[in-house]
A and B are shown apart, each in its own frame.
Chain A
């Protein structure tokens, strides 16, 4: 949809643009992390490209690329409302194979698009990538006491960090880990009134085509 944007980028930045592709109709450019901010400013300010609307900024974790210092891929989707073209910009940062990331830093684009503020905070929260120059770099979806970054592949999905301790069964007096919810000892201890109904074939009573007046 915006081959012109890819060509212009390559013409202007040459080396900084590492790869481009247009799979599934999405024009994508992988750039060097050092030129991130410069490229974004160009995309915003160039009158023919005019990418004034930042669609999304997120991260993807590729732990197998940690050795090349390319563990986290920052993906930025841009759109131009007036020119009607879109672009995907990617950069790779970070190393460290376990849960501790090293060197996952990139420039913030909040000064270019104000909407990037919360998207960058979320990427920091979920992946641990810090954005240099961000006005308010702190967690957004998780609480400040949380340790770790959950969307990394090395963070186990079920490791919870409760803020308050769970009640124990002695304190509660009733079983708290229940398996089958409808055993004999659970359910309603007081009988409900059983309305008369035909019990021949319940499916004949279900008339899907009856539309009642509301």
Chain B
């Protein structure tokens, strides 16, 4: 055997060092089934990442141009499908801004209450799914149990657990039921108790904290530059909440705090969402006290609202009005408007362009989680492969909204 060349230095040995390409494909539970990450890895560290979305592109904007203004509501529901009420209310407010309609007070309280219930269900789903992806199955099941209780209330009110299509231009589809206030009071307490049980279990777990703390950190200025809004932005220290900055409905008449984080890492995003559940509960309790028990829910706007069924069956004027509204659509005045509300993930905006006919000319949704997922590449580059899972989970990417 020949002797080894002792003068050979390590630096002269050339080991193959091609980076490994890994496809974290759309059919992956942590990617929520619709996001593809093409990664270039060196060992476990990510050198480059390419986040590809669009696997749930359903053509929302094109479909809206083919129906009437009221037919957008079911499509709007399916945008952020964990908090569909917020989307309904957001779109209804946008069309009402364009028409110049203001809904009665009782309707404003009602929309706030249903919207906050939807927000609670959104945050429960996000935090539960995040925990489950890290291996904590039990808190996920508790949060799903709590979410089912909220969906019971929504089912009582609107008739469907998810995708209610309950908003209407100028009001809501039906007034609150007599049991609404009791249901809220009774269920919310159980919901928050379940949430606290799950929270206490997770926050004492060393592994859970290690996987979240300090990972996926982003500063406030970077987040604003990336157009982030909502809990992800507030976790980075910027106290921007549309309900506070530009109050709509009756948000300036209720007291609530806006939880703001300090580090902008995954743990802060997780905690901010849990705190927001408590604040939403506070808002709903105040709304229940302030909402009147009777009174009109729909604005008087015969040009956009359907007449009462009884009148439709008995008078000819109402029949004609109903016919025209259903077949031709509500004639929204010509113009354009951008209306924004606080959705589950941040500023949910609708930019509407109307040409004066019953069919929308352009309905553009400004999805809150679209720019947030745009920032994912920055968050995961340089970190390890398994850091993607809690980071992506904490951003709350909702496919229907992100891919519209």
Q: Which residues of A contact B (CB under 8 A)?
A: 23-26, 28, 52-56, 58, 60-61, 75, 77, 81, 84, 88, 113-119, 122, 126, 139-143, 150-151, 157, 208-209, 211, 214
- B66 & A157 in contact (Cβ 8 Å cutoff): yes
Chain B residues with CB under 8 A of A23: 335-337
- Which of these, A75, A115, A119, A208, contacts B179 with CB under 8 Å? A208
A115 to B335, CA, bound (A): 27
A117 to B228, CA, bound (A): 13
- B97 & A75 in contact (Cβ 8 Å cutoff): no
A37 to B76, CA, bound (A): 33
A117 to B182, CA, bound (A): 48
Min distance, Cβ B71 to any Cβ of chain A, angstroms: 14
- Which of these, A52, A75, A119, A141, contacts B54 with CB under 8 Å? A141
Q: Answer whether residue B63 sits at the interface, using C-beta atoms and an 8 A cutoff.
A: yes
Q: Answer whether residue B245 sits at the interface, using C-beta atoms and an 8 A cutoff.
A: yes
Q: Answer whether residue B256 sits at the interface, using C-beta atoms and an 8 A cutoff.
A: no
- A52 & B225 in contact (Cβ 8 Å cutoff): yes
B window 237-254: CB within 8 A of A:
238, 240, 245-246
- A211 & B182 in contact (Cβ 8 Å cutoff): yes
Min distance, Cβ B225 to any Cβ of chain A, angstroms: 5
Chain B residues with CB under 8 A of A122: 370
Chain A residues with CB under 8 A of B238: 81
A60 to B64, CA, bound (A): 14
- A55 & B374 in contact (Cβ 8 Å cutoff): no
The answer to whether A114 and B226 touch (CB under 8 A), given A26-B338, A119-B371, is yes
A23 to B371, CA, bound (A): 27
Chain B residues with CB under 8 A of A56: 338, 349, 351, 364, 366
- Which of these, A84, A118, A141, A208, contacts B374 with CB under 8 Å? A118
A118 to B369, CA, bound (A): 12
1/0 contact string of B77-100 vs chain A (CB within 8 Å): 000000000000000000001101
Chain B residues with CB under 8 A of A113: 225, 227
Min distance, Cβ A83 to any Cβ of chain B, angstroms: 11
Question: Residue of A at shortest CB range from B98?
Answer: A24
A55 to B186, CA, bound (A): 39
Question: Residue of A at shortest CB range from B57?
Answer: A141
Chain B residues with CB under 8 A of A119: 227, 370-371
Min distance, Cβ B1 to any Cβ of chain A, angstroms: 54
A58 to B222, CA, bound (A): 22
Q: Answer whether residue B314 sits at the interface, using C-beta atoms and an 8 A cutoff.
A: no
Chain A residues with CB under 8 A of B61: 126, 151
Most chain B CB neighbours (cut-off 10 Å) among A52, A56, A150: A56
A60 to B363, CA, bound (A): 9
- B177 & A53 in contact (Cβ 8 Å cutoff): no
1/0 contact string of B182-199 vs chain A (CB within 8 Å): 110011001000000000
A122 to B178, CA, bound (A): 46
Q: Known contacts A24-B98, A211-B179; can you find 12 more A-B pairs with CB under 8 A?
A: A23-B337, A24-B336, A25-B97, A28-B336, A53-B227, A61-B362, A77-B351, A118-B373, A118-B374, A141-B404, A157-B65, A157-B66
A153 to B61, CA, bound (A): 12
The answer to whether A24 and B371 touch (CB under 8 A), given A53-B224, A114-B226, A140-B54, is no
Chain B residues with CB under 8 A of A84: 245-246
- Which of these, B149, B338, B351, B404, contacts A214 with CB under 8 Å? B149
Q: Answer whether residue B290 sits at the interface, using C-beta atoms and an 8 A cutoff.
A: no
Interchain residue pairs with CB less than 8 A apart (16): A24-B336, A52-B224, A52-B225, A55-B227, A55-B349, A56-B338, A58-B351, A114-B222, A118-B370, A140-B52, A141-B404, A142-B57, A209-B177, A209-B178, A209-B179, A211-B179
